[in-house]
Amino acid sequence: MGRPPNVRKGSWTEEEDTLLRKCIEKYGEGKWRHIPARAGLNRCRKSCRLRWLNYLRPNIKRGEFGVDEVDLILRLHKLLGNRWSLIAGRIPGRTSNDIKNYWNSHLSKKMNPEATSTPDSPKPNLCEFSPNFDQWTTTSPIFTPTADQNPQEDERCSGSGRDQNPNKEEEDDEETSFWKNILVEVGEETEKSFRVEAIDERVEVEQDDLLSGFQLEELLSDMDLWRLLEND
DNA sequence: AAGTGCTCCAACCGCTGTGCC
DNA sequence: CGGCACAGCGGTTGGAGCACT
């Protein structure tokens, strides 16, 4: 269709990687339409972007997924469905493509051995919950961050309060904020794509600046979902 | 050793969302 | 407000490598 002729496809060579890396170091990320020309690459912008995001970007973690990571993926997938970029945003060093591939090749079979694919991926369920979020988050084993997780790598975490605070007493709050933030992000996205259908009388929660721009009650009404996850 | 089937992952494709004019 | 261009996302594909016969 609109694709220019003679644009190279297929695997990237070392030379192409080097050109792309140098170009982005010089001009920065973004403006992908300019990247191929600036880098001297005969590739389309999408290909350049994908290569950078999934392979060349610094701090990308490769190799085996750890137990903690798998556990987190399973739970996040249950909560978010096939929203790989959101899931990846919560697993430092892993890309959405990585997680998607890992899910498709390992976890989907484990979760649903009979199905070869999951045509009806779950959507976040935002209805009919009651609060007991903090208790769950502070008792679940998955809320212990692994040593190599670096929140700074995760731009979605920036400003979330999940930064370098070694104070043990505040860990619970950090963890809670971490998961609340997921709800906030899911909520913000979800609100755009499909409206919450049922809004009951819910939790009374203080409005904090984390949760601005979205209906807090709706988000925190998901707390039973957390409990459902825990009870698996 | 050769052939076949399977698995995994990098990359592509097409759709959607967003911003600008 | 509609159209366009671009960025970003999830689904899908192709092929390299491995396991099995």
pLDDT (0 to 100) of residue A154: 34
Instruction: Tell me the pLDDT tens digit for each residue of A30-71.
Output: 788 889 989 999 899 999 999 999 999 888 888 888 888 998
Q: Which nucleotide is nearest to A101 (CA to C1')?
A: B9
Q: How far apart are CA A160 and CA A46, in angstroms?
A: 30
Domains of chain A with CATH codes: 1-58 (1.10.10.60), 62-111 (1.10.10.60)
Angstrom distances, CA of residue A231 to CA of A76, A136, A185, A224:
14, 10, 24, 10
Q: Which nucleotide is nearest to A188 (CA to C1')?
A: B17
The residue behind tokens 């459902």 is: A228
Asked whether strand C has any atom less than 7 Å from the CB of A83, the reply is yes
CA distance A107 to A99: 10
Phi, psi of A166 (to 5 degrees): -80, -5
Instruction: For residue A192, say whether its CB is under 7 Å from any atom of strand B.
Output: yes
The pTM for the full model equals: 0.64
Quote the pLDDT of residue A178: 67
Rounded to whole angstroms, the distance from the CA of residue A197 to the C1' of nucleotide B4 is 52
Q: Is 60 exceeded by the pLDDT of residue A215?
A: no
Number of H helices and number of E strands within chain A?
11, 0
Integer Cα distance of A60 and A52 in angstroms: 10
The pLDDT value recorded for residue A170 is 53
| pLDDT of res. A47 | 92
pLDDT of A87: 92
What average pLDDT does range A70-74 have in this prediction? Answer: 90
Of chain A residues 25-64, which have a beta carbon within 7 Å of strand B? 43, 46-47, 50-51, 54-55, 62
Instruction: Convert the pLDDT of each residue in A119-169 to its tens digit.
Output: 334 434 433 333 333 333 333 333 433 333 333 333 333 333 333 333 444
